[in-house]
Amino acid sequence: MVEIKSDLKYTKSHEWIKVDGDSVTMGVSDFAQSELGDITYLELPEPGEAVTRNEPLGVIESVKAASDIYSPVTGEIVEANENVVDAPESVNSSPYDDAWLVKIKLSDPSQLDELMDSAAYEKFVEEEGGH
C-alpha cells in the first residue's frame, strides 16, 4: 500500500510539502517513488537559488527514466539535502523522512492554499494515479 501522511500537503506532480512558518520542506511522495522504481540520481538546486511554482527545480532519475521535480511554491532555496544526493536510494526507503529534498522560503504563503491535503491527494492518486 502507498503511504500518504496526513500532516503533509501534496501536489498533482506527487511532491509532498511540510509547512513550517514561512518556509516549507518538500520531497516526493511514496506513490511517486514506487512508480519511478529504483532511484539512482538526483539533481537539486543550490541554497540561494530562486524557484517558481510548478516549474522544475531538479531532476530525479530511476533505472528506467529521468523525471523533473517541480517546485510546489515560489521562493528561495534555503537548504538542499546533500545526503540524499549521495544516497539516492533513500528516496525509495524513506521518501518522507531521510529523503526530504529541499527547504524553500516562501514568497507568497497564499500559494499553500492551492495544495492538496492528504484526503484530496489520496483521492487523486486513486483516480488519476493510474490504478
Binding site for another protein (CB under 8 A): 35, 37-38, 40-41, 43, 59, 61, 63-66, 92, 130
Cβ of residue 63: shortest distance to another protein, in angstroms? 4
Nearer to another protein, 22 or 126 (CB): 126
State the DSSP H helix or E strand holding residue 36, giving kind and residue range, or none if neither: helix 30-36
Q: Which residue has the cell 509532498?
A: 16
Cβ of residue 125: shortest distance to another protein, in angstroms? 14
Contacts of 12 (CB under 8 A, 6+ apart): 116, 124, 128
Nearer to another protein, 37 or 47 (CB): 37
Cβ of residue 83: shortest distance to another protein, in angstroms? 15
Nearer to another protein, 88 or 109 (CB): 88
CB 17 within 8 A of CB 23: no
Q: Which residue has the cell 530511476?
A: 62
Cβ of residue 66: shortest distance to another protein, in angstroms? 6
Nearer to another protein, 52 or 93 (CB): 93
Residue 130: HSE in the Cβ half-sphere, 13 Å Cα cutoff: 7
- Residues 11, 116: Cα–Cα separation, whole Å: 6
